[in-house]
Amino acid sequence: MSVNHGDVRTGVWPAGTVPGYDAAGVVVRAAADGRGPAVGSRVVACVTGAWAQRVAVGVDALAELPDSVDSAVASALPVAGLTALRALRASGPVAGRRVLITGAAGGVGRMAVQLAARAGARVIASVGTPERGAGLTELGAAEVVVGPEGVDEPLDLVLDTVGGPQLVTAWGKLAPGGVVQSIGWASGEAAVFPPYSTFAVGAARTLSSFGDASEPGADLATLVGLVASGELVVQIGLREPWERVGEAFAALAGRRVAGKAVLDVAPADAALARG
């Protein structure tokens, strides 16, 4: 299973809640209607309550894994990969457009950099410190900046994973007709827009929230295929047993993880192994 910033920001769950959305494991009981993968198949899934030794998953919410894709890598794909893939798709063609990705060193950010570059965008990767920008050029970023303040040309699209003041700054740098997709809020800070900052002459600019995880199976299969072909690299910056979830939360909140945090779940029995 993997941990997302949204999991960290949720706070304290009610007693009995099984949190999490990202899981990879082995099918121990096939669908009764005969659809989906057979018992023993390795799969990745996006499902509420993923942080468990066993979880029921609809066949439309999972994708099978080829032998070449490690379960730990696959478990990092669902929320981060679906968010990046679908936010880009919802923004229309990006070939030749200037695309800013904030929080580019994180799990969503690193996947968004690769997917946007693969689609032909000129990608500007914004990070919190120069050190966190390491490796982003190799993933496809044309430019790496520390914060969006230094971006000096209008932007066509922003995929914002940080929120707060950075969202306000990014909004102010949009070209006429530009779009901000708000796909995360890792900063935990409020975004305060100055008076009249949402008004501009010319084609309308748009700020949209985005977090569509419905019917994820087909898009999970797409992401798995990109990983298998080497077109999408999933960086795991932290991997621990699930008993150390508190440490993983602290590392993510402190921005000490480059890429994804993955927790290994102990099997419920010999038939089940989860990444």
What pLDDT, in 10s, does the model give residues 115-125? Answer: 999 999 999 99
Q: What is the CATH number of domain 83-209?
A: 3.40.50.720
The CATH number of 2-78+214-264, from 1.10.3720.10, 3.90.180.10, 3.40.50.1370, 3.40.50.300, is 3.90.180.10
pLDDT digits 0-9 by tens, 127-155: 999 999 999 999 999 999 999 998 999 99
Question: For residue 145, what are the contacts with CB-CB under 8 A and spacing of at least 6?
Answer: 124, 125, 126, 127, 151
- Distance CA(106)–CA(117), nearest Å, equals 16
- Round the average pLDDT of the chain to a whole number and report it: 91
pLDDT score at 131: 94
- Distance CA(273)–CA(75), nearest Å, equals 12
pLDDT score at 249: 84
pLDDT score at 274: 36
pLDDT band for position 270 (cuts 50, 70, 90): very low
| Strand blocks (E) in the chain | 2-3, 22-26, 42-46, 62-64, 98-101, 122-127, 143-146, 155-160, 174-182, 206-209, 236-241, 260-264
pLDDT exceeds 90 at position 79: yes
C-alpha distances out from residue 165 to 102, 108, 149, 190, 207, Å:
12, 19, 10, 7, 14
Query: Phi and psi (nearest 5°) for 102?
Result: -90, 155
pLDDT score at 12: 59
Segments of the chain assigned to CATH 3.90.180.10: 2-78+214-264
**What size, in residues, is the chain?**
275
pLDDT exceeds 90 at position 246: no
